[in-house]
Amino acid sequence: MRVVKKGFPLPLGAVHNKRSLVALDNLVDLIITCIDHPAAANQVFLAGDGEDLSTTEFLRGVAKAVGVLSRLIPVPAAVLMFGASLLGKKEMAQRLLGSLQVDISKARDLLGWTPPLSVEEGLRRCFVENPERY
């Protein structure tokens, strides 16, 4: 995140994976809903913001939240993966370039829960209201 804030170019402008995020406020809201809702008893729910982002979209969102221009160079994920493999960093690249999504439909359907914060607002609160963290 520090690299994004400083405006350094990153070769992640063509990554089309999908990642689920959860803002702290959304997680707390879901926990409160589970405490209060009788249908939540003995159930397991996955928490998320309800909008999955690619690494590219996430980095653009962070740049927007902190008020800087996103400098993302569109290097294909396969090229990045190949380069990382040559450097012995294949696992790290897989974590960065792969998808990781959660399905929050159970919480929506069973509890009528909707994340109160948008992804954009969650990023703003994370990176603007807590600048000392990044």
Cβ atoms within 10 Å, residue 65: 21
Interval 19-34 mean pLDDT: 97
Domain limits of the chain? Answer: 2-133
pLDDT at 130: 65
For residue 131, pLDDT over 80 is answered with no
CA atoms within 13 A of residue 25's CA, in its CB half-sphere: 14
pLDDT at 126: 87
Interval 73-87 mean pLDDT: 97
Sign of CA dihedral 82, 87, 90, 94: negative
pLDDT at 2: 83
Kindly report the pTM of this predicted structure. 0.84
As a whole number of Å, the CA-based R_g of the chain is 17
State whether residue 76 is helix, strand or coil.
strand
The CATH class, in words, for 2-133 is alpha beta
For residue 128, pLDDT over 90 is answered with no
Interval 51-80 mean pLDDT: 94
Three-class HEC string of 85-134: HHCCCHHHHHHHHCCECCCCHHHHHHHCCCCCCCHHHHHHHHHCCCHHHC
pLDDT at 1: 79
Interval 32-53 mean pLDDT: 97
